[in-house]
Amino acid sequence: MKGIKTVFLFLLCALMLVPTLVLAQGAVEETGESYMRLAWWGNPTRDERTIKVVNMYMEQHPNVKIETETTGWAGYWDKMNTQAAAGSLPDLMQHDYAYMLQWVGRNQLLDLTGYVDSGVIKLDKVAESALAGGRVNGKLYGINLGSNAVCLVYDPAVLATCGIAEPDSTTWTWADFERIATEVYQKTGVQTIPFFTTDPKVGFDNMVRQTGASTYAKTGKGLGFTDPTVLKEFFAIQLRLLKSGVLINPEIAFVTVTPEEGELAKGRTWVEFIWSNQLASTQSAAKRPLKMALLPKIANAKQPGTFLKPSMFFSIPATAENPKEAARFLNFFLNDIAANDILLGDRGVPVPSDVRAHMTEGASDINKTIFNFISLAANNSSAIDPPDPTNSGEFLKMFRDATQEILLGKISLDDGAVKVMAKGNEILKK
């Protein structure tokens, strides 16, 4: 009898502790404190700056407590998707153009129009074109945190050594690119890296957009192009460069590496293909000044292939516990000059015009380069395509595998192009 009593007492104590611990995790307390969670993906530089801004906000609003969660890009969506399934998403989260449509379709995000109309989020200095990316069916689901554009960076010192004039990025063609790459290789032995090894579709997309088509159909249920000419040219340029020894061996180039381990940092390529807001990390890994250029034109280009991409958004999940505070913080993050002085455009060129003007004045060299490039891109771009369809993950993998197969010579160029189009349609129609 004594034994059984002790056992049950023990169990009872254990059970009592559980709810206490759960409640201690914290929720909105009745003491007038406002609590919210903020999540973003980033890198050490971005994390450091963002946390400084969060602390600044908490100093200005002593009753607010913000808990931050951050990961790298690689694990971010795994985490967010899991939290979405559990209904435990944060109050404010960073979002991406590629996934916005899907999340809106699943009613996971809050329409921010209410906050904009009531003045909690001030968008009077933001051009509508910058907001377009965050709109679905006219409603606003994400605020653009910065503009981004695809580009290539090159080492001007190498070109200077070869006596090659730097290209005019608004007029140069892929033929010019091939000529320069070949000359650089012949004179210095420095090679050229394959185009966008992590995601070759980005390079192809830029080229096919110049014909007025796009990779994905507007509805997302198939390819957005029927003529394989540009697709073949995308591979053909690289194959030609590979044949003459200019292109870095794909077996080396396609290995996933950090910027410090990459071919540009090792001085083995004169060019690298990136998104504009990666300039800071790319240049610091390369340890030498780089210049930015728009991607070259194809023959008979009808329009520019570049587009201004919202680099990332801040969105408020539909299940957020404290959306009001999230909206207030969002407004601060977007519009506050002092906050942006800390962030230094790390997420892309700021969208409110007054912030952008202020940033350009006092910008570091790297940021000046990026800001100027974005202005250049803005004048040489065409409208952004709709967000990637749901099956784009599978499509991107297929495209990347096909690129490697073609470059490694496992499949002929023509067969490869046929395969990409056939499989692409098959995947997207699912």
CA–CA dist 259, 147 (Å, integer): 22
Binding status of residue 426 toward other proteins by CB under 8 A = no
**Is 375 a binder of other proteins (CB under 8 A)?**
no
* Cα separation values, 392 from 132, 270, 384, 429, Å: 21, 31, 17, 11
Q: Does 106 sit near other proteins (CB under 8 A)? A: yes
Question: Which of 224/250 has CB closer to other proteins?
Answer: 250
Note whether 206 and 215 are within 8 A (CB): no
Q: Does 235 bind other proteins (CB under 8 A)?
A: no
Q: Which of 53, 54, 84, 318 is in the footprint of other proteins by CB under 8 A?
A: 84
CA distances, 254 to each of 261, 401, 416 (Å):
12, 10, 18
Residue linked to tokens 């505070």: 325
Cβ(196)–Cβ(153) below 8 Å: no
| Smallest separation, CB 78 to other proteins (Å) | 5
Helices marked H in 71-142 — which ranges?
73-86, 97-105, 113-117, 128-131
Q: How far apart are CA 194 and CA 200, in angstroms?
A: 9
Residue 429, interface with other proteins (CB under 8 A)? no
Using CB under 8 A as the binding rule, whether residue 7 contacts other proteins is answered as yes
Which of 206, 391 has the CB closer to other proteins?
391
**Bridge pairing between strands 139-140 and 135-136:** antiparallel
Of residues 112 through 171, those in contact with other proteins by CB under 8 A are: none
Q: Is 221 in the site for other proteins (CB under 8 A)?
A: no
Find the radius of gyration of the CA atoms of the chain: 25
Q: Please identify which residue in 133, 194, 224, 250 interacts with other proteins, judged by CB under 8 A.
A: 250
Looking only at residues 396 through 415 of this chain, which bind other proteins when binding is defined by CB under 8 A?
397, 400-401, 404-405, 408, 410
Quick check: 11 binds other proteins (CB under 8 A)? Answer: yes
Among 110-118, 188-196, 214-222, 391-399, the segment contacting other proteins (CB under 8 A): 391-399
Q: Shortest Cβ distance from residue 154 to other proteins (Å)?
A: 22
Is the CB of residue 428 less than 8 Å from the CB of residue 216?
yes
Smallest gap from Cβ 178 to other proteins, in A, equals 24
In terms of CB distance, is 5 or 243 closer to other proteins?
A: 5
Least distance in angstroms from the C-beta of 394 to other proteins:
5
- Shortest separation between residue 85's beta carbon and other proteins, angstroms: 5
| Options 34, 50, 94, 108; binder of other proteins; rule CB under 8 A | 108
Q: Which region among 73-81, 339-347, 366-374, 380-388 touches other proteins (by CB under 8 A)? A: 73-81
Instruction: Kindly write out the interface string for residues 262-281 of this chain, putting x where it contacts other proteins by CB under 8 A and - elsewhere.
Output: ----x---------------
Q: Residue 235 and residue 194: Cα distance in Å, rounded?
A: 10
175 with 299: CB under 8 angstroms? yes
User: d(Cα 239, Cα 194) in Å, to the nearest integer?
Assistant: 10
Identify the CA nearest to 253 among candidates 197, 330, 212. 197
Cα–Cα distances in angstroms (integers) from residue 140 to residues 146, 264, 397, in the given order: 16, 39, 30
Provide the minimum distance between the beta carbon of 406 and other proteins in the complex, in angstroms, as a whole number.
11
Distance CA 50, CA 47 (A): 5
362 in contact with other proteins (CB under 8 A): no
Tell me which stretch binds other proteins (CB under 8 A): 1-9, 40-48, 237-245, 293-301: 1-9
Among residues 141, 122, 119, the alpha carbon closest in space to that of 313 is found at 141
Give Cα 75 to chain centroid, integer Å.
Answer: 14
Q: Which is nearer to other proteins, 139 or 400 (CB)?
A: 400
Q: What is the largest CA-CA distance in the chain?
A: 96
422 scored as a contact of other proteins (CB under 8 A):
no
Residue 19 makes contact with other proteins by CB under 8 A: no
How far apart are the C-alpha atoms of 269 and 262, rounded to whole Å? Answer: 9
Contacts with other proteins, residue ranges (CB under 8 A): 3-4, 7-8, 10-11, 14, 74, 77-78, 81-82, 84-85, 102-103, 106, 108, 249-257, 261, 266, 390-391, 393-394, 397, 400-401, 404-405, 408, 410
